Amino acid sequence: MNDALYEQLVTKKPSPLVPVIKILLILLMAAGLILATFFIGFFPALVVIVLAFLIYYFVFPLLSVEYEYTFLNYDVDIDAIYSKSKRKRKLSFDLRNAEQIAPAGASARSAGRFSKIWDFTSHLHPDRVYSILIASGHSRVCVLMELDETSLRHVTQWAGNKMQRA
């Protein structure tokens, strides 16, 4: 078979508050551990340690996100990669179900109402952001993706006349 496979990795721009949030969480955990150990006792200190591990395991990975776009013929899969270690499938769709693919600033995107807008961009290159309008049942979904030249060629090849260039 002649399958066309392409993968693109887009690193999301971290918020300027990310270092501040990390420092505050670490200081809060350290202060809680000191207070629990010296003033309350061993069991509350153990609870603070368990909470610290939970925060480290569940909150810190959410502060570093990359998106991986996988194009296989008509199929598009978008995965979120947290802290370069945990992968989660965010969205899968077929390019044949797309109503329109256009630059994000195009008037076509602002003309309609959407039940959901998915933003899978880095927020670093607004000129490379494309909106893909997908009809899903009775609702319309807008997917924002940051496409490089190779992925643009792939989408143009497989989406045909639905693709609009800037």
Residues 135, 140: Cα–Cα separation, whole Å: 5
Answer whether 143's CB lies under 8 Å from 166's CB. no
Model confidence pLDDT, tens digit, residues 107-164: 555 556 778 888 899 888 888 899 888 887 788 888 899 998 898 888 888 887 777 7
| pTM for the predicted model, two decimal places | 0.77
HEC letters along the chain: CCCCEEEEEEECCCCCCHHHHHHHHHHHHHHHHHHHHHHHCHHHHHHHHHHHHHHHHHCHHHHCEEEEEEEECCEEEEEEEECCCEEEEEEEEEHHHEEEEEECCCHHHHHCCCCEEEEECCCCCHHHEEEEEEEECCEEEEEEEECCHHHHHHHHHHHHHHECCC
Strand partners, 72: 5, 75
Please give the Cα distance from 157 to 32 (Å, whole number).
57
Residue 103: the pLDDT is 86
pLDDT at 21: 82
Q: How far apart are CA 132 and CA 127, in angstroms?
A: 15
Task: Say yes or no to pLDDT of 44 above 80.
Answer: no
Identity at 53, one-letter amino acid code:
F
d(CA 128, CA 43): 53
What pLDDT was estimated at residue 97?
85
Mean pLDDT of the chain: 83
What is the per-residue pLDDT for 81? 92
Alpha-carbon distance 77 to 11, whole Å? 16
Q: What is the pLDDT of residue 47?
A: 80
Q: What is the pLDDT of residues 50-97, one digit of tens each?
A: 888 888 888 887 788 899 999 998 899 999 998 888 899 999 988 888
